[in-house]
Amino acid sequence: MKNRVSIIGLGYVGLPLAVLASKSGYKVNGIDIDVSRIEMIKNGYSPIEDVQNSEIKEAIKLDNIQVGSDFSVISESNVVVICVPTPLDSDRKPDLSLVESAVKSFGHYLTKSTLIILESTVQPGTTRDFLYPLITKHSKLSHNDFLLAYSPERIDPLNQKWRLSNTPKVVSGLSGEATKAVFEFYSKFVENLHVCDSLEIAELSKLLENTFRYVNISFINELSIFCGKLGVDINEVISAAATKPYGFMPFYPSVGVGGHCIPVDPIYLANAAKAVGVSIRSIELADQINQEMPGYFIGRAEEKLAGLKNRKVLVVGVSYKPNVADVRESPVEALISGLKQKGAQVLWHDDLVKEWNGEKSVALSNKFDLAILATPHDYLDLTKLGDVPILNTRGSI
């Protein structure tokens, strides 16, 4: 039982954590309700870009990782890490249903002194006021029978410089004992840990990180529109500003903001602020600007073609970020939907995503009236478009 950890959710957060923990000496039970994902991992194939097939095969060969959908293995674990998504619901409000479902599934398997760590992004107060009573409700344990901690994930898919092992990790526990336990757990495989004095500080730190990015991206998106009117290349402006060695951080324009974190976390923060009677107006404005960016590029496409009705448009790249297949919260979905509403015949190309929303990627060719470059993957060879005009959402002219 000693040094056995169960990780719930084997996606972009949980799977790298499972692999790294297994390398550091932990016996890992990976749990996911996605049966197809479990089968892939069992067969030695990684469902995400950040983990290599060879890493999974090596861990399985050494018997350091077992994966499945059976929560009963948690009874053998002294550490449980919750890495499930915390998205927005249809009303753009925080959705903790997957966290709640996970606790209901594993609660009655918990044993005394188990350390439970939440890595999912949440509002301040969630770990203490929501998760803590939820665990006691769905387990056989009293409040003092288990340890509870929070440590927000910091995963940047395909970032070759900052990996899980060398990215500083924020940790905090509900009690001093929990803080010590969570520190000891991560210190086995993370180089630098930052201990927060409270769960709420740790929770808010995650929201601050991505809200900072969200607000700055919205500013750059508006500035790119302005630069377009002036006939100035926004990327050259950013490059010039970035030569300043202090007090500046470059952000870049796009068709909007996607992924599980950046477009979601600020809304969690804004919602928490409203709950205590505070309005963070910069978040509300940033959200409005970024939500409007697909519509802006639809307008640009209309201008280029003098109307979109019955025009053949190819959208190039549909994932939220270059060189990954992740389409969560991708702003390209709103772009495609808006183009279709204008009467355009829209197809898309993305050899990383391949299939999405019941449609399949098509080849790059010169059989279109316009191509819109939404997500510039490195593999793309835009010369295959021939003389098709290109609207680049990553620039201003």
The answer to whether the beta carbons of residues 366 and 348 sit under 8 Å apart is: no
* Per-position DSSP letters for 195-219, written without gaps between them: E-SSHHHHHHHHHHHHHHHHHHHHH
Pairwise CA distance, residues 12 & 209, whole Å: 18
Do residues 134 and 269 both lie within one domain? no
Whether 203 is covered by a domain: the verdict is no
Do residues 271 and 362 both lie within one domain? yes
Do residues 158 and 24 both lie within one domain? yes
Whether 205 is covered by a domain: the verdict is no
Task: Indicate the pTM of the whole model.
Answer: 0.92
CB atoms within 10 A of CB 69: 12
Do residues 214 and 319 both lie within one domain? yes
Residues 6+ apart with CB under 8 A from 230: none
Do residues 214 and 191 both lie within one domain? no
Query: What total of structural domains would you count in the chain?
Result: 2
Domain ends where: 171, 197, 223? Answer: 197
Pairwise CA distance, residues 253 & 282, whole Å: 18
CB atoms within 10 A of CB 23: 18
The answer to whether the beta carbons of residues 181 and 149 sit under 8 Å apart is: yes
Do residues 187 and 254 both lie within one domain? no
CATH number, domain with residue 386: 3.40.50.720
Do residues 262 and 345 both lie within one domain? yes
Helical H segments across 143-175, by residue range = none
Do residues 347 and 248 both lie within one domain? yes
Do residues 30 and 168 both lie within one domain? yes
Domain holding 137, by residue range, is: 4-197
pLDDT in tens, 270-314: 999 999 999 999 999 999 999 999 999 999 999 999 999 999 999
Whether 122 is covered by a domain: the verdict is yes
Whether 53 is covered by a domain: the verdict is yes
Residue-by-residue pLDDT tens, the chain, 397 positions: 468 999 999 999 999 999 999 999 999 999 999 999 999 999 999 999 889 999 999 988 888 999 999 999 999 999 999 999 999 999 999 999 999 999 999 999 999 999 999 999 999 999 999 999 999 999 988 888 999 999 999 998 888 899 999 999 999 999 999 999 999 999 999 999 999 999 999 999 999 999 999 999 999 999 999 999 999 999 999 999 999 999 999 999 999 999 888 999 999 999 999 999 999 999 999 999 999 999 999 999 999 999 999 999 999 999 999 999 999 999 999 999 999 999 999 999 999 999 999 999 999 999 999 999 999 999 999 999 999 999 999 988 7
Whether 237 is covered by a domain: the verdict is yes
From the list 28, 50, 29, 47, the residue with the least C-alpha distance to 37 is 47
From the list 265, 352, 280, the residue with the least C-alpha distance to 316 is 352
Do residues 215 and 146 both lie within one domain? no
List 83, 196, 227, 261, catalytic entry: 261
Do residues 301 and 354 both lie within one domain? yes
Whether 397 is covered by a domain: the verdict is no
Do residues 67 and 186 both lie within one domain? yes
Pairwise CA distance, residues 205 & 25, whole Å: 29
Annotation marks residue 261 as catalytic: yes
